[in-house]
């Protein structure tokens, strides 16, 4: 029996184990949507293709399996560009399928024609322009394999409408694409790694998204506990080492604690696992960890030596590497170093907040964490609230913080939360957002209401683009330009307008009781929390400065 390209795609998605995809239909994806109607795959109708892209990312970030997004040609494709670039910079396995004008019209400036292939070359891990229905049988499984293998990333498949409609006889279905086996280190590398750890007196671990991607959380814990090594995390490393652990140094870098920066300065061995020495983490790179021998483990060969030369570079999976290194290590923590770590953590503590009065953003983050539980999946948008969450939320498990780190996309949080909730039915999901960020994809409140997902949107509302205001405050003489919103929308009314339960804790006499009530009920809710406009995320390292040159207090200057 002959079937058409569109049906081939939906069959391949089913065979791939894809249960849910997100998208918006259009002229060039009509055959695909017709096929979806006859398929087991559930389609989530977003309200903007960027929202659909981040829903797909949310599914992927919560599970590690490639999320799928569908968009039409032209504006549909350009609207997903941000979500593709975001997935690339954060190494998130995703498959974006876009409709394209019929092959015969490509290159004629046809209605809703745009060169999706050309546009996505620099921002995707790989991309395809499909030329025949038969090609789909190799391209679709290959796209999933590529997206999930090695360093994960987004793959784009651009499918002209006539290819979706072309009927062919399918003799044999291809095997679903799967993650290629992880690369492993050589014996020499394993031995050298173990020797460096044994010989070091002041080792520090620096872990990132690669630890999450390779599911190496337990191995990192073993290494830290066994050899007594404190652990600093990039934004995407958070959750891969328990925040409450005495060896946790929290997030390093631009908003890291003084003790974290000092310990990295004192380190004689830096064990960098699944990280890329991003400028937000290292500060001025020439002054980052200057006294340390560097061991760098990453699946992406091009990351080794890219920004920081490694004394021992290992191109391999983090978990596979630690599995081989750990048995060679004596469990002999270096007691002097552990005392030094404890001393510095005591003298220059990680950001903390003990009260629950909701007056400070930090206290609010902690009050929410208490109510949400340790396996809650947290998404954030981008800005001050994101950094307060990174500093104060006690993440215990991997894949519980989903945040746009590399691209820093405002508007990420809400659709990513919807995706996470869809991929993990029954899980509590909290989206921390700001009033600037939420407005960038607020239309997805409609999608949230429709899915009824258990997403609590916590809105840190300071009527500003807070992180811009903070930098203008600190580095531009307090001259606030275009960072203040003179109009303050009624977010509670807006949420209710979408059919979502909403409360304003600023107006509630018993703010904590109000939060209790929100978390007691299932389904979506929005909580508006007024935040003092002058509140800054501290400490802060000025962009381009060394991490040790952090600003820890804001001088109170009147900018009236």
| Touching another protein, residues 23-82 (CB under 8 A) | none
Residue 93 sits in the site that holds another protein (CB under 8 A): no
Residue 117: CB minimum distance to another protein, A: 6
The conformation of residue 122, written as its DSSP 8-state character, comes to G
Site for another protein contains 302 (CB under 8 A)? yes
Element (H, E) at 391: helix 384-392
Write the CA distances from 469 to 279, 390, 465, integer angstroms. Answer: 21, 19, 6
**Please, what is the minimum distance in Å from the beta carbon of residue 315 to another protein?**
9
Judge contact between 249 and 231, C-beta under 8 A: yes
Q: What radius of gyration, in Å, describes the C-alpha atoms of the chain?
A: 24
Q: Which is nearer to another protein, 125 or 469 (CB)?
A: 125
Tokens of 184: 């492993």
**Between 54 and 128, CB nearer to another protein:** 128
Decide whether 141 or 383 has the Cβ nearer to another protein.
141
Output the smallest distance, CB 127 to another protein, in A.
7
Q: Which is nearer to another protein, 275 or 518 (CB)?
A: 275
Spatial distance between the Cα atoms of 52 and 58, rounded to a whole number of angstroms: 10
* Pattern 321-340, another protein, x by CB under 8 A: --------------------
Identify which of residues 39 and 98 has a Cβ nearer to another protein in the complex: 98
Stretch that binds another protein, among 54-62, 207-215, 302-310, 452-460 (CB under 8 A): 302-310
Selected from 266, 279, 300, 323, the binder of another protein by CB under 8 A is: 300
284 contacts another protein (rule: CB under 8 A): no
Q: How many CA atoms lie within 13 A of 258 on its CB side?
A: 15
Q: Judged by CB under 8 A, which of 38, 40, 305, 370 binds another protein?
A: 305
Residue 98 lies near another protein (rule: CB under 8 A)? no
CA distances from 558 to 321, 360, 469, 473, 553 (A): 54, 20, 14, 10, 15
Name beta bridge partners: 298.
Answer: 315
Task: Confirm if 429 and 413 have CB atoms less than 8 A apart.
Answer: no
CA trace torsion 438, 443, 447, 450 (10° rounding): 110
What span, in angstroms and rounded, lies between the C-alpha atoms of 188 and 282?
29
- Please report whether residue 371 would count as binding another protein according to CB under 8 A: no
Which CB sits closer to another protein, 301 or 348? Answer: 301
| Closest distance of CB 48 from another protein, Å | 26
Q: Which is closer to another protein, CB of 41 or CB of 101?
A: 101
**Dist CA 478 CA 87 (whole Å):** 34
The token pair at 129 is 């322009």
Looking at 46-54, 298-306, 385-393, 548-556, which segment touches another protein (CB under 8 A)? 298-306
Number of residues that bind another protein (CB under 8 A): 14
Residue 548 sits in the site that holds another protein (CB under 8 A): no
Nearer to another protein, 126 or 284 (CB): 126
Which of the residues 99 through 138 are near another protein (CB under 8 A)? 117-118, 121-122, 125-127, 129
Name the minimum Å distance from CB 84 to another protein: 14
DSSP state letters, 254-315: TT--HHHHHHHHH-SEEEEES----HHHHBSGGGSSTT-EEEEEES-GGGTTTSS--SEEEE
Does 316 contact another protein by CB under 8 A?
A: no
Give the number of other Cβ atoms within 10 Å of residue 306's Cβ. Answer: 14
**CA separation, residue 527 to residues 72, 209, 253, 376 (Å):** 34, 30, 30, 17
Contact 47, 444 (CB under 8 A): yes
Closest distance of CB 276 from another protein, Å: 13
Residue 528 in contact with residue 492, Cβ under 8 Å? yes
Least distance (Å) from another protein to the CB of residue 290? 21
Q: Interface with another protein includes 395 (CB under 8 A)? A: no
**Site map (CB under 8 A) of another protein, residues 427-466, x = contact:** ----------------------------------------
Give the footprint of another protein on this chain (CB under 8 A): 117-118, 121-122, 125-127, 129, 146, 300-302, 305-306
């Amino acid at each position: 029996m002959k079937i058409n390209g569109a049906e081939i795609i939906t069959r391949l998605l089913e065979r791939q184990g894809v249960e849910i995809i997100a998208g918006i239909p259009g002229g060039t994806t009509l055959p695909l949507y017709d096929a979806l109607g006859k398929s087991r795959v559930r389609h989530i109708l977003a309200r903007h293709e960027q929202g659909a892209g981040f829903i797909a990312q949310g599914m992927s970030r919560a599970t590690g399996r490639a999320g799928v997004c569908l968009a039409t040609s032209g504006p549909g494709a350009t609207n997903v560009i941000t979500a593709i670039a975001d997935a690339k910079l954060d190494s998130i396995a995703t498959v974006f399928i876009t409709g394209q004008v019929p092959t015969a019209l490509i290159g004629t400036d046809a209605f809703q024609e745009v060169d999706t292939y050309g546009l996505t070359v620099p921002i995707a891990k790989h991309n395809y322009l499909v030329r025949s229905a038969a090609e789909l049988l190799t391209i679709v499984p290959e796209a999933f394999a590529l997206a999930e293998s090695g360093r994960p990333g987004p793959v784009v498949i651009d499918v002209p409408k006539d290819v979706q409609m072309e009927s062919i006889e399918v003799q044999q279905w291809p095997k679903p694409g799967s993650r290629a086996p992880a690369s492993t280190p050589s014996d020499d590398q394993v031995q050298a790694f173990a020797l460096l750890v044994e010989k070091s007196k002041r080792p520090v671990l620096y872990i990132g998204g690669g630890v999450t991607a390779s599911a190496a959380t337990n191995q990192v814990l073993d290494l830290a506990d066994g050899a007594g090594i404190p652990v600093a995390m990039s934004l995407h490393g958070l959750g891969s080492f328990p925040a409450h652990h005495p060896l946790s140094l929290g997030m390093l870098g631009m908003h890291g604690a003084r003790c974290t920066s000092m310990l990295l300065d004192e380190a004689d061995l830096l064990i960098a696992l699944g990280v890329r020495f991003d400028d937000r983490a290292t500060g001025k790179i020439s002054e980052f960890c200057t006294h340390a021998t560097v061991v760098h483990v990453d699946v992406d060969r091009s990351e080794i030596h890219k920004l920081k030369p490694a004394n021992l570079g290992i191109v391999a999976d983090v978990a596979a590497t630690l599995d081989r290194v750990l048995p060679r290590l004596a469990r002999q923590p270096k007691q002097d170093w552990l005392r030094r770590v404890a001393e510095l953590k005591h003298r220059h503590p990680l950001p903390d907040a003990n009260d629950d009065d909701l007056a400070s953003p930090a206290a609010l983050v902690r009050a929410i964490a208490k109510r949400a539980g340790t396996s809650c999946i947290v998404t954030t948008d981008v800005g001050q609230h994101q950094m307060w969450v990174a500093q104060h939320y006690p993440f215990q498990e991997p894949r519980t913080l989903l945040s746009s780190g590399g691209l820093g996309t405002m508007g990420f949080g809400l659709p990513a939360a919807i995706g996470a909730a869809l991929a993990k039915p029954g899980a509590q999901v909290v989206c921390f957002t700001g009033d600037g960020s939420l407005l960038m994809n607020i239309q997805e409140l409609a999608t949230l209401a429709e899915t009824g997902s258990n997403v609590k949107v916590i809105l840190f509302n300071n009527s500003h683009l807070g992180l811009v205001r903070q930098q203008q405050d600190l580095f531009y003489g307090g001259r606030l330009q275009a960072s203040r919103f003179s109009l303050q929308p009624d977010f509670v009314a807006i949420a209710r307008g979408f059919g979502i339960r909403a409360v304003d804790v600023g107006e509630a006499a018993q703010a904590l009781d109000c939060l209790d009530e929100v978390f007691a009920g299932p389904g979506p809710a929005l909580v508006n929390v007024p935040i003092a406009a002058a509140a800054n995320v501290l400490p802060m390292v000025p962009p381009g400065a060394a991490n040790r040159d952090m600003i820890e207090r804001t001088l109170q200057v009147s900018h009236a």
